Structure 1
Amino acid sequence: MTQQGVRWTADQVLALAPDPASRTAGSRLGAAGAWSGAGSSGEGTVWGLCEGGGSTPYRTVVDVADASGPAYQCSCPSRKFPCKHALGLLLLWSGGDGVVPRGEAPKWAEHWIAGRRTRAEQKRTAGRSDSSGSSDSAGPKAARRRAERRAERVTAGAVELEQRLADLLRGGLASAEQSGYGLWEETAARMVDAQAPGLAARVRELGALAGTGPGGPVRLLEECALLHLLGQGWLRRERLPEGLAATVRSRIGLPASADGPAIRDRWLVLAQYDTADSRLTTRRVWLYGAGSGRTALLLSYGAAGRAPELALPVGLALDAELSAYPGAEQPRVALGERFAPPAPTDVRPPGTTTARAAARYGEALRDDPWLDSVPVTLDRVVPAPDGDGWQLADADEDAALPLTPAARSRPGLWRLVALSGGAPVRVFGECGHQGFTPLAAWPEGPGEVVPLC
């Protein structure tokens, strides 16, 4: 599609931004006045020179035609990926109007593109060679021994955690507030030592709930129950059905490989957003398969303060293979071979009612009691105020879903309200125990997806 001159929209470009500050700065650089020598090969390569604070302009080049995904190169010192100059150049290109004419790439851009594609081909060739080569017979045995030793440490950690939860309930939840966050951090550190990062993360969540107000003790008790259930699930994992046992292992934090069969499809990029803590930045990318009808989740990670490398433009479709991770109703997948660059599509996921969405979450909890939410597309819903909050009301039924507190504070809510204007819309998002978080929306008639995150 890129070769035929179809370009991305501004929303699709800005969806690649690693954070709101980059989105704002990139928008300011999306005007012709900041650029010189801008051009395009007509095959998905865009380049240009952007004036900066020094005497030499920044050299920026973007490749959106490679099947492995968008790639960026800029001579600026920014550690963000993509930087504001790459975003600004893509915005300039997406606007059309002849501002970025077709032409021959300068030597510096041509050299980078050629080198990148050569390295990508070498990597693919090496991957095929590795998969066809014979494995070391000692490897599986050593891996089994490591897995057994880790399982023993996790078991010891789960037993210790059970004792600490029992001590907490015996002393009363009020004692948790008096002990402060240090009690939970010390317990979490013990779970890290036991090589159970999933348990450690849930313990830290308990620390964040202690002393949070009138509803804090109730939420604390709920989370203690879920943590107890997870610990008991691990200690009795051999009695569980395989799907639920795989879910327990995943929630504990044991490593797993995406060993499900590869599914090739045209995957519509529904949404992309980041969450961060002091240790890690996690990027979630939701995809919908046009042929399979499956909704899948890609996870990508970056060091604290740095955006993950994987970035896919919302609203475009990716011809690629995905492989599922183990676990009951597990939406997480690994991205395999990509056969073409992302391209425009008119595919939309089918929608359902708010009542059915809530029921779907309840059904999913039977397979994964620790599940916070499930991906759902709502059809013909209208955003409407609901006291101090907002809800998505069915246009054809007397039912509604409240928006989560996080969704109410996001600017995407007002984009959704503006898109609707009181008329029904189709909305993709996450439905869970706190309500619904909208991530993307479409007007009822023809129109492109509108990112909401």
Structure 2
Amino acid sequence: MISITEAYVDSLALNAAASKNGRDLVKKNSFPLLCRSEDDTLLFGECKGSGSEPYRCSVDFLKPDDPVFRCSCPSRQFPCKHILGLLYAYTGGKAFATAEIPQDIKDKRDKASLREEKKKEAETAVESDAKPRRRQSNKSALTKKIAAQLEGIELADKLLAGIVQSGLGSVDKKTVQTLADQVKQLGNYYIPGIQIAFRALLLELQSDGDRESMYTAAIPRLTLLHSLLKKAKEYLEQRLPNPDETPMDTASTLEEAIGHAWQLAELKQLGLTVPNTELLQLSFRSYVDSSREEFVDEGYWITLGSGHIHATRTYRPYRAAKFIKEEDSQFKLVQIEELFVYPGELNARVRWENTTYRNPQPVDMRAVCSHARRSFPEVVKQVKNQIKNPLSDKHPVTLLAYKEIVNMSGQYVLVDEQGKQIPLKDIAAVNHATTPMLSLLKQGDLRDNAMLVMFEHDLEQNRLSAQPLSVVTDQGVIRLLY
């Protein structure tokens, strides 16, 4: 018997609209044919469409953990509303007749099986090769690309110099629009990261707030761009003579800041992988990045073995957002065969492909709490050292072990076992209040537990603040941010 739930179908939908459309098809009795295979590995049927011919859709559970969706409709959303409707019909108790597996699906299964066999043969051949060949790069193409990047950096440097020489006080809406048109040209030089950094500056310069606030927000953007252009130029000039022999920078996020999109094959070739890892998500949020013109789904995870706090980010461009599945909170412990780790610092970004899941146990939660940092002064020093680097992430996330959470005249404070304190405060980077939710915690949650926090340097008070994201106890994770 195929075991699926309505919640599972909801999780497959790319967005709320797709889910609603799938349910509506069932309500309108749009499925004249609903079938299931005798071995319970396939659901298939026909759905009425706008044309004379119905759409033929199916969900193949030959591999239960990796179902295959098929539909004859022209929709670019996947799974489409017809597939979702088929599944909602099943979970809703609609009658499915037992029928033979269609021949076209049998043929597709055979082809998939053949591809899998060839893939395994190829993997076996690679593993048995004592000296695998290094991927050959095209030196001429790399040289041309780096030369174009340096040309783009020179253009960006001139634009930045013009802003600095004229002064922020002279920047008006017309100036910003002119700069925006010029920044578009940076898209021709393989430096999308630098282009995004420039867009972020322009967004600050065109904000409708008071001028003083605009200056305060723009100065760090100017500093970041200046440092990025300088370091990028030095780095690329060093690589230009022999780009295929000079290794890429994996000790920092410079390549990504310039605009390189790391491929999983590259990360594996560079040895940036960790085998057989277990991760637990401690916090999740979705937000809009206007400079990238993308929606971002961001999760913070802890590695049970090492205690490292990693980040995952899924970018959904505005124009393609409806075709890309939104990420969601994950409450189960994720078991990963091979973890790909991007170059980074305290919260290096990670990705993975093959996973299994299990429910976290109290022993897992105790392991998570054991990794929490116990000395606040050491954490503050490490965070400050990272923030000082202009190109570093200015909002590192850390898991802190606390003796107690105290409310001092309306200000929540985290206290460690030595009596050292870190003030808790909602920060602009999160753009969502969580500190007031601390008042809802049970008395036992206020002492001898761990808290995941995001740091920010308060320029006005010249001190670090931390916003609580989650409280971790030996019973589970209490999420303050959704």
State if a TM-score over 0.5 links the two structures. yes
* Segment of structure 1 superposing worse, 377-386 or 401-410: 377-386
Give 2:395's aligned residue: 373
Give 1:250's aligned residue: 256
Q: Name the SS of the counterpart of 1:405 in structure 2.
A: coil
Give 1:318's aligned residue: 335
Return closer, same or farther for 1:50/1:202 CA change in 2, 3 Å cut-off.
farther
Q: Does 1:166 align with 2:161?
A: yes
* Segment of structure 1 superposing worse, 276-285 or 13-22: 13-22
Q: Name the SS of the counterpart of 1:321 in structure 2.
A: strand
Return closer, same or farther for 1:209/1:119 CA change in 2, 3 Å cut-off.
farther
In the alignment, the residues of structure 1 paired with residue 249 and residue 312 of structure 2 have an alpha-carbon distance, to the nearest angstrom, of 20
Q: TM-score, normalised by structure 2?
A: 0.65
Q: Is the 8 A contact 2:59 2:67 kept in 1?
A: no
1:114-154 residue CA offsets vs partner (Å, 9 max, x unmatched): 679748835843762795799999942x2x22222222222
Give 1:196's aligned residue: 191
In the alignment, the residues of structure 2 paired with residue 92 and residue 444 of structure 1 have an alpha-carbon distance, to the nearest angstrom, of 40
In the alignment, the residues of structure 1 paired with residue 274 and residue 450 of structure 2 have an alpha-carbon distance, to the nearest angstrom, of 26
Pairwise mapping of residues 284-299 of structure 1 onto structure 2 (< 5 A)?
284-299=298-313
Return closer, same or farther for 1:222/1:299 CA change in 2, 3 Å cut-off.
closer
In the alignment, the residues of structure 1 paired with residue 38 and residue 409 of structure 2 have an alpha-carbon distance, to the nearest angstrom, of 51
1:189-218 residue CA offsets vs partner (Å, 9 max, x unmatched): 232122111110011011110142231112
Q: Is the 8 A contact 1:265 1:289 kept in 2?
A: no
In the alignment, the residues of structure 2 paired with residue 415 and residue 25 of structure 1 have an alpha-carbon distance, to the nearest angstrom, of 38
Q: Is the 8 A contact 1:268 1:318 kept in 2?
A: yes
In the alignment, the residues of structure 2 paired with residue 57 and residue 384 of structure 1 have an alpha-carbon distance, to the nearest angstrom, of 61
Give 1:260's aligned residue: 271
Return closer, same or farther for 1:209/1:288 CA change in 2, 3 Å cut-off.
same
Give 2:28's aligned residue: none
Give the superposition deviation at 1:452.
3.4
Q: Does 1:344 align with 2:390?
A: no
Q: Does 1:393 align with 2:413?
A: yes
CA RMSD of aligned residues (A): 5.6
Q: Does 1:186 align with 2:181?
A: yes
User: 2:338 is aligned with what amino acid?
Assistant: E
In the alignment, the residues of structure 2 paired with residue 25 and residue 448 of structure 1 have an alpha-carbon distance, to the nearest angstrom, of 34
In the alignment, the residues of structure 1 paired with residue 226 and residue 9 of structure 2 have an alpha-carbon distance, to the nearest angstrom, of 44
1:346-397 residue CA offsets vs partner (Å, 9 max, x unmatched): 334333369465444323335663413223224457597997xxx7632655
User: 1:331 is aligned with what amino acid?
Assistant: A
Give the superposition deviation at 1:402.
1.7
Q: Name the SS of the counterpart of 1:320 in structure 2.
A: strand
Q: Does 1:152 align with 2:153?
A: no
User: 2:275 is aligned with what amino acid?
Assistant: R
1:55-108 residue CA offsets vs partner (Å, 9 max, x unmatched): x999785869756x6776689987656678989999999x9xx999xxx99958
Give 2:215's aligned residue: 217
Number of residue pairs matched by the alignment:
433
In the alignment, the residues of structure 1 paired with residue 280 and residue 359 of structure 2 have an alpha-carbon distance, to the nearest angstrom, of 10
Give aligned-pair identity as a percent. Answer: 18
Q: Which has the higher contact order (CA 8 A, sep 6+)?
A: 1
Q: Name the SS of the counterpart of 2:352 in structure 1.
A: strand
User: 1:400 is aligned with what amino acid?
Assistant: P
Q: Does 1:230 align with 2:228?
A: yes
1:324-350 residue CA offsets vs partner (Å, 9 max, x unmatched): 3345667123425x2x52222233433
Q: Is the 8 A contact 2:272 2:342 kept in 1?
A: no
Instruction: Return 5+ residue gaps in structure 2 as ranges.
Output: 26-30, 240-246, 459-464
Q: Is the 8 A contact 2:149 2:191 kept in 1?
A: yes
Return closer, same or farther for 1:402/1:127 CA change in 2, 3 Å cut-off.
farther
Give 1:32's aligned residue: none
* Segment of structure 1 superposing worse, 271-280 or 154-163: 271-280
Give 1:452's aligned residue: 481
Q: Name the SS of the counterpart of 1:372 in structure 2.
A: coil
Q: Is the 8 A contact 1:70 1:312 kept in 2?
A: no
Q: Name the SS of the counterpart of 2:276 in structure 1.
A: strand
| Alignment equivalent of 2:455, drawn from 431, 438, 448 | 431
User: 1:376 is aligned with what amino acid?
Assistant: T
In the alignment, the residues of structure 2 paired with residue 202 and residue 427 of structure 1 have an alpha-carbon distance, to the nearest angstrom, of 31
